[in-house]
Amino acid sequence: MQRLIKITILIIFFFILGVFFISLNKDTAYNTKTLVGKKITKINLEYFNEKKFYQNEDLKKNNFTLINFWASWCAPCRDEHPLLVELSKEKNLKLLGVNYKDKKKQAKIFLNDLGNPYHFLAKDEFGKQSVNYGIYGIPESILINNELIVVKKFIGPLSFEDLKSIIKIIN
C-alpha cells in the first residue's frame, strides 16, 4: 500500500516536472504563423476604385502573390514601402495591396508621395475582410502561391531579410 502511494506521488511529480519542462521551453509569443500551409478559401476583396471584387481566380493567375495590408495612418507601413517598391520589380510576384480602414483621399496621397508598388489595389473599409487572413494589426503581409496556399506570413513591417527570403522563395 505504502509502495503504491509512493509510486503514485513519484508519477505525479515527474508528470508535473515534464509539463513544466515542455511548457517553459515553448515560445509563448502569439503569432498567426499557424496559417502557413493553409489554403485561403474565399478571396473577396473590393477594388479600391470600383465596385468590383477580386476573387480566387484573379490571384490564381499569378505564380506568387503578396497580399499586403496597409493604411496611410500606419507609420510602419511607410517604413516598409520602399521594400514593396523593390519587390514590385520581381517577375514572379504580384502585389495585392489592401487599404485597411483608411480614408480614400489619404490613401491616394500616400501612394502619390511614396509610389504605388501594387499590381492590384483593394480596400477593406471596415476591416472585416482582414479576419479571413488572420490579420490583427497592420502592416501584415501574406505570401501565397497560385493554389492560394499561404507560403509565408509576415507580421509587422517587412525587413530587408524578409525581402531576401521572399525573393528566394519566388525564384
Catalytically active residues, by annotation: 74, 77
C-alpha cell at 109: 496621397
Candidates 81-89, 127-135, 139-147, 163-171: pick the segment binding another protein (CB under 8 A).
127-135
Cα end-to-end span (Å), the chain? 67
Three-class SS of 83-94: HHHHHCCCCCEE
Binding residue count for another protein, defined by CB under 8 A: 19
Buried b (16+ CB within 10 A) or exposed e, 141-170: bbbbbeebebbbbbbebbeeebbeebeeeb
Least spacing, CB of residue 167 vs another protein, in Å = 28
Report the residue from 127, 148, 165, 169 that binds another protein according to the rule CB under 8 A. 127
Q: Examine residue 131 and tell whether it contacts another protein (CB under 8 A).
A: yes
Closer to another protein at the Cβ: 35 or 169?
35
Q: Can you tell me the distance from the alpha carbon of 73 to that of 28, in angstroms, rounded to the nearest whole number?
A: 30
What does the alpha-carbon distance between residue 61 and residue 53 come to, in Å, rounded to a whole number?
Answer: 15
Does residue number 44 form part of the binding site for another protein (CB under 8 A)? no
CB of 127 to another protein, least distance (A): 4
Cis peptide before 82 (omega within 30 of 0): no
DSSP state, residue 162: H
Say whether residue 88 binds another protein (CB under 8 A): no
70 binds another protein (CB under 8 A): no
Question: From the CB of 31, what's the least distance to another protein, in Å?
Answer: 8
Minimum distance from residue 171 beta carbon to another protein (Å): 30
User: CA-to-CA distance for 118 and 97, rounded, in angstroms?
Assistant: 6
- Choose, by CB under 8 A, the member of 101, 114, 151, 165 that binds another protein: 101
Binding region for another protein (CB under 8 A): 1, 4-5, 8, 30, 32, 34-35, 101, 126-128, 130-134, 136-137
